[in-house]
Amino acid sequence: MSHSTIQTDIFFAEFDGRPYAYGLSSDETRATAESSFRFGDPSDDYALGNSWAVSPDDSGWRIVRRTFPVTHLAVEFVGEIGVTNHVSWQCPECGAWSSEDVEHDAVGPLLVHCGSRHHADDGIWVILNW
């Protein structure tokens, strides 16, 4: 696997300052948050809220952009129609192996996070390309 590290914007969907979804674009992250069980009427089990904050003083969901060093890895995707496929990758920092479930027709890149206990900080961000 080859890799390079590039400063990359990552978008987070946060509720009350806590991130619940992330992605490489604001629209992707918003869609992920809105499809989550955390998004919805707060009277429903586990839902936090269903409104997006407009101003800094509003409560609700908000998209926050942060820049991180992100390692780009070239990985091999092998899949079959009708079954769960996986992309396996090795963290370039700690060496831990991970596997991500992907659809058979998935097209990279895929943003992932290594939160292995081997990291002294909050882990590292990785973009998988195939």
- Tens digits of residue pLDDT in 53-92: 999 889 999 999 999 999 999 988 877 777 888 889 999 8
Q: What confidence tens digit (pLDDT) does each residue in 30-48 have?
A: 999 999 999 999 999 899 9
Which residues touch 111 (CB under 8 Å, ≥6 apart)? Answer: 10, 22, 23, 24, 70, 125, 126, 127, 128
Q: What is the pTM of this model?
A: 0.84
- CA–CA separation, 34 and 38 (whole Å): 8
Query: Going edge to edge, which strands form the sheet with 3-15?
Result: 18-23, 3-15, 61-74, 124-129, 110-114
